[in-house]
Amino acid sequence: MMEGFLGNLWLWVKAAHIIFAIFLMAGLFMMPRFFIYHQEAPVGSPEDARWIERERRLKNIILNPSLIVVWVLGIVLALNGGMFSQGWFHAKLLFVLLLSGYHGWTVGYAKKLARGERAFSDKKLRMWNEVPGVAAAVIVILAVVRPF
């Protein structure tokens, strides 16, 4: 039984970590979908303005708070379990950094759309949409199986 300084709180913190990871992933799956629908609306149209507002809310209410909570709880768990020296944790960190970079990309792309810039084609957005799913699968396998 691995408890660390969190004691009986440990499993509750871990449960919260997973809950917020689910919220984060939901946001990361929704955002590029929003972008695809958004780009169907002409720049400056009322529909364009509605998508800008939806993207702003998704970022402020779901994406940014979830990312912060997942990181803070993840680091607390790693300190609690003395995991900074473990191979699976290093690999997991690499992939959560990748996922955080993707998060940053969605926030940046939403800003571009709000300025009327449409940098990616629909096809490219659909391809980018695969990144968070693959990253989440790798992260969960590393965290649960801990193969090394």
Interface positions with ligand HEM (CB under 6 A): 14, 17-18, 21, 25, 70-71, 74-75, 77-78, 81, 83, 89, 96, 99, 136, 139-140, 143-144
Is 52 or 135 the residue whose CB approaches ligand HEM more closely?
A: 135
Listed in sequence order, the DSSP H helices in the chain are: 10-38, 46-57, 64-81, 87-114, 122-128, 130-145
Task: Supply the minimum distance, in Å, between the C-beta of residue 141 and ligand HEM.
Answer: 9
In the complex with ligand HEM, which residue's Cβ is closer, 88 or 120? 88
**Among residues 20 and 51, whose Cβ is nearest to ligand HEM?**
20
Question: To the nearest whole angstrom, how small is the minimum distance from the Cβ of residue 1 to ligand HEM?
Answer: 11
Q: Which of 86, 92, 83 is nearest to 137 (CA)?
A: 92
- Contact present, 81 and 13 (Cβ < 8 Å): no
Query: How far apart are the C-alpha atoms of 102 and 143, rounded to whole Å?
Result: 20
